[in-house]
Amino acid sequence: MSLYRRQHKVRFAETDYAGIMFYPRYFEALNATVEDWFADVAQCRFEDMLDEYDAGTPLVSVETGFIKPCRLGDILTFTLKVTSIGKTSLTFEAVTSCGEETRMRATLTHVCVKRDISGTAPWPPVIRERLAVAMENQD
């Protein structure tokens, strides 16, 4: 399995007056990519995690470097790589590119939390196994 990639077209509603992508929109697109990764790679949609395991996986830490602005009409590729899996955490390295040009890099850490948000919880065993397999199988 290769690294996980999703494309995203920068739309008018995501830009400022100069046509540059507003930085919170990067985080929305990154979160959508992580949500798609869970569904496509870990085979656990966020809604299934809530319904079947009484758990969620919010973003708890992000370190971001904006290298070059993205503009209206750009076709961006968001690429995810799992770099670590903990008892309750999962860390991704994310790269946003436009063609061959890197536009943003980020390190994202998500945790498994109880649905009642009373604290973190260990990954359910079936999800933990899928996360491990996904990490093993990336290029």
Q: Does domain 4-136 have CATH number 3.30.360.10?
A: no
Going from the first residue of the chain to its last (139 residues), give the mean pLDDT of each consecutive group of 10, the final group possibly shorter: 91 96 96 97 94 94 97 98 97 98 98 92 95 89
Q: pLDDT at position 117, please?
A: 81
pLDDT 10s digits, 66-86: 999 999 999 999 999 999 999
Question: For residues 7, 75, 111 and 129, what is the CA-based torsion angle, rounded to 10 degrees?
Answer: 20
- Collapsed DSSP state (helix, strand, coil) of residue 131: helix
Both structure tokens of 47: 């809604």
Contact by Cβ (8 Å): 94, 78: yes
Strand 55-56 to 113-114 pairing: antiparallel
Tell me the two tokens of residue 121.
């919880």
Ranges of each domain in the chain? 4-136
CB 80 within 8 A of CB 4: yes
| Phi, psi values for residue 107, rounded to 5° | -115, 125
Contacts of 118 (CB under 8 A, 6+ apart): none
Contact 94, 30 (CB under 8 A): yes
Q: Which amino acid is at 121?
A: A
- pLDDT of 1 reads 56
Across 35-134, the runs of DSSP E, i.e. the strands, are: 55-56, 59-66, 75-85, 89-98, 101-111, 113-114
pLDDT of residue 111: 97
Supply the pLDDT for residue 99. 97
